[in-house]
């Protein structure tokens, strides 16, 4: 059970560091923290449940080492993030700063659209071997992480020094976590051992 919690925490952190800046902007722009939190929780729930469904479907693949190939996805995302300048965050910032309608819905949509592909790509390989009981633990852990990130985002929205630090180094930290997570998935599922033998 501890391993499932640790994997959930690491995967949540790795996929949410870059989102934290967007959350900070939301919190600094709109002062309705309750609505932002509800939207954040709704978007996060959509991502987690989608990942769980995809993991269950992929769980029917007979060879475990084949599932380990999914570890290449976070490695690719981590390497790509290091070398490709992605301006998606700038587009999201512009949307946030130009609207005030439906903060809950807007926050949920921003959460899903800015995190969707990355989160699903990271969560699915981790969720494939998890039992139904452990899925509940994963969900609860990730929701707790979502709440923790919300509090961190709220604190950062009030501290310009930390906000600037995340802007400068968040990309590198996120990339490193993605790459390490991908390598872990490759090893855990026996993919590396399969190709060595």
Indicate the pTM of the whole model: 0.69
Is 37 inside any structural domain? yes
Rounded distance, CA 138 to CA 8, Å?
Answer: 6
Structurally, the chain folds into a number of domains equal to 1
Full residue range of the structural domain in which residue 27 is found: 2-63+87-167
How does pLDDT run across 103-135, given as a tens digit for each residue?
Answer: 888 888 878 776 777 788 888 888 888 898 999
Is 20 inside any structural domain? yes
pLDDT class for 35, splitting at 50, 70, 90?
very high
Is 18 inside any structural domain? yes
Neighbours of 158 (CB within 10 A): 11
Is 185 inside any structural domain? no
Is 149 inside any structural domain? yes
How does pLDDT run across 164-185, given as a tens digit for each residue?
Answer: 776 777 678 767 877 887 787 7
Rounded distance, CA 97 to CA 107, Å?
Answer: 12
Q: What percent of the chain has pLDDT over 90?
A: 27
Rounded distance, CA 26 to CA 135, Å?
Answer: 30
pLDDT class for 151, splitting at 50, 70, 90?
very high
Residue 72, pLDDT > 60, answer: yes
Is 196 inside any structural domain? no
Whole-number pLDDT of residue 91: 58
What average pLDDT does the structure give for the chain?
Answer: 81
Q: Are 15 and 115 in contact (CB under 8 A)?
A: yes
């Amino acid at each position: 059970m501890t391993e499932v919690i640790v994997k959930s925490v690491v995967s949540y952190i790795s996929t949410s560091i870059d989102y934290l800046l967007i959350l900070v902007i939301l919190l600094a722009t709109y002062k309705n923290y309750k609505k932002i939190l509800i939207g954040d929780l709704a978007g996060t729930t959509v991502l987690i449940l989608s990942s769980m469904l995809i993991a269950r479907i992929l769980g029917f693949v007979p060879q475990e080492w084949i599932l380990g190939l999914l570890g290449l996805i976070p490695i690719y995302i981590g390497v790509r993030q290091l070398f490709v300048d992605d301006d998606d965050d700038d587009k999201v910032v512009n949307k946030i700063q130009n609207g005030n309608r439906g903060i809950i819905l807007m926050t949920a949509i921003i959460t899903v659209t800015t995190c969707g592909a990355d989160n699903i790509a990271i969560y699915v390989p981790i969720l494939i071997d998890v039992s139904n009981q452990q899925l509940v633990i994963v969900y609860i852990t990730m929701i707790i992480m979502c709440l923790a990130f919300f509090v961190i985002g709220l604190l950062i929205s009030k501290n310009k020094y930390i906000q600037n630090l995340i802007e400068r180094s968040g990309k590198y930290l996120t990339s490193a976590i993605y790459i390490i997570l991908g390598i872990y998935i490759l090893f855990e599922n026996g993919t590396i051992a399969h190709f060595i033998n």
